[in-house]
Structure 1
Amino acid sequence: MAKKAITINKLIFFFKRQIWRHSYVRFKDNPLIYIAQRLYLVFNGLFVERHWGYAAQLTYNTLMALVPMFAAILAIARGFGFEDYIVEWCRQLFANQPNTAKVVLNLAKSYINYTHTGVILGISLVWMLYSVISLFNNIEAVFNGIWGVKKERSMGRAITDYVSILIFLPLTLILLSGLSIFFQSVIGHLPEFQLLTPILQELISFMLPLSILTLLFISMYTLLPNTKVRVSMIFIPALMAAFSIIIIQSIYIHCQVFFASYNLIYGSLAALPLLMLWLQLSWYICIGFAELGRANQELTDGRYIGEMRKDSPREKLRKACVIMSIMGRRQMNAEGPTDAQLLQQLTSYTYTQIMRSINDLIKAKLITKTLNENNIEVFTLNHDSSKLTMGFIIRSLLGTKARQRKNSTSLHINDNEETLLNKHFDNYIKSIDSIAVTKLTNKKDY
């Protein structure tokens, strides 16, 4: 038991302390630390921040919006004359659950017919759009929670974005289906390569759904969170998520004997729990690899590097003054507000160090935090940069001294010594009041 406890303690120490002693790590430099840092952040997001529970919520939301979603896609495709392509895509999507595909398609067609022929035509159409937009909104809320975004996009922008996705989704599916048919026809005209043709067919049958799913996850990870997500950070997680979905479908196909007996027991009702199981597993995969994408971006930005190392008070003052100097020069050049990413590029400080200094400057009322048109936090000076001196900034950051109550029984500082200390401090502030904060950094750096 003692050995097990020691091993567990070493493991905890490794993940919570040792891996964070390194600066930004590339995979080729130290694969173990690179992977361990990401595993820790994914575990923290899923189980400590409890993002794992989002899967059940999204499973319910998806199930409720599944028929309206397919009805909307089918209606748009019917308007362009490509309904058959979408029907075939739906059957391929539920290839491991043919009964589910049949039920969903029949319900979607009935939904469309009711919407077109019902007495309350407008209400039916609005309800269909509401169901789809509500699903997108719930997915966005989940991804915002994963990425730590507190402000959702406005209702008008959300409706515009979601309707655009709804229109372009069937067109994208039709295009990909056309590419699949094209490649299959090309392979069919290569009979002389009897050995190569089956290999190409297997390769295309694997690569095409993998590509479609990868594009789907890339779109979800980049478009739905109300923050800037770089494609380079989520490409590998999206590819891994797509590969995991294909593996789950393969496992399902190879376990048909078990599910056949399940169908015999539950009859036509078996499609519902099997669909819910498939949806929940899919959302587990989607959320898990979204956490990996978030970890990639935040580690690349240096957000977690330096969490275990505290700056000295002098170093904190120095970093804050450097940031004020950068912002002062940008104000003088009329270059607009500054964001944390730009400050990282100019200073090589970590994200954590930048934000600690930013928070200190906000508390000192030297700068103000706002949101730009892309919903990214930006920071502006509260004062004219030409009048900002090092003395003023240091005094603002240190603040005023705490007043002592005369009736307090706590230990008092000797009045004479305190007066002498205050005098020396005031002289020090006056001596650096002649130094403009914009001169702290080199002009050639900008």
Structure 2
Amino acid sequence: GNPDIFDVCLSSGDSEVRLNPDSLDTELDLSKDDIKHIKVREKHVDLITRDTAGGDQTSAHTGWLECFSPSVSYRFRCPGPGVFQCTLTRLVFVMAQEAELLYRTVQWDESLLQSAGKTAAGPLFNIRCSEDTVWELHLPHCETKEALCVDGLLSVAHISDDGMSILEPLEITATHVVVKVPHLSGWGVIWDDFKRLLNITVNGQVLLFFRPSETEPAQINVFLLQENIPLSEVSAQQHDDAKYIQTPADCLFSFGQRYSVHCEPESRIIQPKQTQFRSKSGPNYHPTFQVFLSTNSGFVTLIVKDQEGNEIWKSSVCLPGKIPSGVPADERLFTVRSQFIDRVSEPVLKKLLDKLLEKHIINDQEMESVRSQQSKADKARDVIDTVRRKGSIATSLLIAALCEEDPCLFTELNLR
């Protein structure tokens, strides 16, 4: 891929979009009721961000992502009828024909919801597309299996110039609420206020963003959110120096329950000491907790506890090392090239390859080139040299992946 396009993508966080599935080779009869059961293969799409100072990066592929901090706009072209999913927002579109979709999250009108006895159950998406091109829309929800047994808990708000209408879903799956699309504008999942009280537990996520500092305590911003809040939306609002820490995020939260965060080894300050879990639907997201650390690097374990003191989430994370001023990551990696080739294990190499492919640092052809090498040393040499040629940002991602997959080797190579 084009390294310049890749560099711009990295600046806006973990911004990967997939269209899922790809319908290019699929004949689709939209008159059939079982359209949602079509099984076709996944398609990857390149992304770009737009530089508000005037320099646009462009892509010749079928879709892209544009970031306008602090908000994110999404756009891709659907090549024909089929079922497509954006893995950033988890929205699913059942398309009747070729079209271009543009969508972003916008602010809910709380007065409209309150007058109807409803509460936002996720982001409100403003979706634009040519008329009669979208057949169905699948909106992600955050409900547990038990909550889905509560009849009438979920519905969909359709907001247009004429006001708000409430639509009953065609179907509610384990992950999405499915609705027929009369025309596009504002769409979002909503809760019935009374029935929400019958089951207050939702599938949630814990998101971590690390901010290093040379003069002040480093800090981790901790977000406790519903599962259907897109990571891309939260990432776009972080400071430029904040790094998303990838870690298992799944958790169960209960509205009104109080939660606290704890750190090992002990941190300097955690604020607040405890807070209630509340529904957040955007478009603005603020940290639930701030953890001020005693160190800028190393391993820490973060724990989320409920008000009874039970651990409901725990993860050990390797803090991203701050690159020394004036020393690019590719140069730092070059100084330990021979040691990396000698010491990295084949299982770790395989995991690094998977991460590099997922982040679009390498393509399928480059991955196969590494795999075709006979010896472990040749594979390691191919990996490190291929990534180094792609520049400092790509190399930084390889260093972060090595920290996660083999912290001992990461420490031995002194790559902090």
Task: Tell whether the structures are fold-level matches, with TM greater than 0.5.
Answer: no
Larger Rg: 1
| Larger relative contact order (Cα-Cα within 8 Å, sequence gap ≥ 6) | 1
Higher strand share: 2
- Compute the TM-score of the two structures, normalised by the length of structure 2: 0.26
- Compute the TM-score of the two structures, normalised by the length of structure 1: 0.25
Higher helix share: 1
